[in-house]
Amino acid sequence: MNYFIFIVKAAIEDFKKNKTQTFLTSLGILIGVFSVVILTALGLGLKKYIDDQFAQLGKNSLFIAPGKLISGGSFNAASTFQSIKFDNRDLTKIRKIKGVIEIAPIFSKQVVAKSFKKTEDTTIIFSSEAFFSINGFNIKNGRFFNKSDIDKKSKVVVIGPKIAEKLFGQADLALDQKITASNVNFKIIGVLESKGGGGFGGPDYDNYIFSPYTSGYIFNPQKNFSRIALKFDDINFSVGEIKELIKKEMLKRYDEDSFSIIEPGDILQAVNSIFSVLNMVLVAIASISLLVGGIGIMNIMFVTVTEKTKEIGIRRAIGARKNDILYQFIIESTILSVLGGAMGLGLAFLTTLILQKFFPAYIDVNSVLLALGVSSAIGIFFGVFPAKKASDLSPIEAIRYE
């Protein structure tokens, strides 16, 4: 134990004497560890964000979408162009399938919404009352629209909190107000609780307006739906069985390539596979700076060995073995590297704290361990060659060195 305290103490004394050199040598590792940890934090944050978004959908929901949106675990962007549209006939048939509990046809329209004080561009999603439960919405003020609103084609809307605030100054003031969307008047019967989200390609529901699909037919005379969402009985049916039943029904009317039945998990998997590949590439690029940092340490350690030739000679004269000298220099390069790693990690923590205000980044235990593990491994690996040179010096030549 004493042995290591002595060696570590001597190394730290050296670093204190050459603070600038020590810092610059560690800088390479600092930058490397910082970029690897930050990129991992961003990747993890993004994955967590996506997971959370899909977790709200629940395990017992499915979507029917036109085209082959997902094939073999990844997105198939081309398919969305040659799309079909669903209609009331599909709705009726799917509703009759055993195990389907709730069903929500969906279409949307970009509109200019006007309140008595302001005008905003937004999107109205036209659907059924089931849409809210399938997507896990909660109401803050007022109520959701219901089945009788749909039957009566009521001109009512439920409004997201952000757009409500934009239109009325304060979300709480929106209830029972009138808005005009593309010259049609609607009454606001409910304001939603914030759901967060938006900004990563996902829908920013807080900025949307929701209305009964029957009321939306004014804008959609063909009565087409772009998607159908549904909830099924997951106690008596498995996802596979339900998908099979729906597929059988749909195949009576459409060919196999023109529609998809999607589980939220499918999308999640596809999105995650894209992001994890992207993140791996970024982390690999960042790792190059770790390598460069390691070479920087090796370079400085070679210089240090020359500078300390006399000291090596003295230590050998009083009984240090080759291995004692070897360990001394490996410990020194490891301290340099871990110092850089720790500073990089600290900086990454601070940066993550700031980033979290804008972006869901977070550092997990694994990236901390990885950063420290990799930096000490670099210190040892790149320290071995200079240390070997030091320990192989002949005692007599070392002690004569001036």
Partner 1 sequence: MIKFKNVNKIYKIDKEVVFQALKNINFEIKKGEFVSIIGPSGSGKSTLMHLIGLLDTPTKGEILIEGKNIKNLNDNELSSLRNEFVGFVFQQFNLIAKLTVLENILLPTIYSRKKLDFDPRKKALELIKKFGLSGKENSYPNKISGGQQQRVAIMRALIMQPKLILADEPTGNLDSKTGIEIMNLLKKLNKEEKITIIVVTHEADIASYGKRLIKIKDGEIVDN
When the beta carbons of 2 and 183 are compared against partner 1, the nearer one is 2
Contact 82/69 with Cβ under 8 angstroms?
A: no
When the beta carbons of 195 and 315 are compared against partner 1, the nearer one is 315
**What gap in Å lies between CA 133 and CA 129, rounded to an integer?**
8
When the beta carbons of 147 and 310 are compared against partner 1, the nearer one is 310
Report in angstroms how near the CB of residue 324 gets to partner 1 at its nearest: 6
When the beta carbons of 14 and 87 are compared against partner 1, the nearer one is 14
Report in angstroms how near the CB of residue 316 gets to partner 1 at its nearest: 7
Cα-based angle 324, 326, 331 (whole degrees, multiple of 5): 95
Within the chain, what is the greatest distance between any pair of CA atoms? Answer: 103
Report in angstroms how near the CB of residue 390 gets to partner 1 at its nearest: 14
Report in angstroms how near the CB of residue 45 gets to partner 1 at its nearest: 45
When the beta carbons of 317 and 369 are compared against partner 1, the nearer one is 317
When the beta carbons of 11 and 378 are compared against partner 1, the nearer one is 11
Residues in the site for partner 1, rule: CB under 8 A?
A: 2-3, 6, 9-10, 13-14, 17, 310-311, 314-322, 324, 394-396, 399
When the beta carbons of 3 and 254 are compared against partner 1, the nearer one is 3
When the beta carbons of 2 and 170 are compared against partner 1, the nearer one is 2
Report in angstroms how near the CB of residue 47 gets to partner 1 at its nearest: 48
Report in angstroms how near the CB of residue 334 gets to partner 1 at its nearest: 18
Report in angstroms how near the CB of residue 14 gets to partner 1 at its nearest: 6
**How long, in residues, is the chain?**
402
Report in angstroms how near the CB of residue 361 gets to partner 1 at its nearest: 42
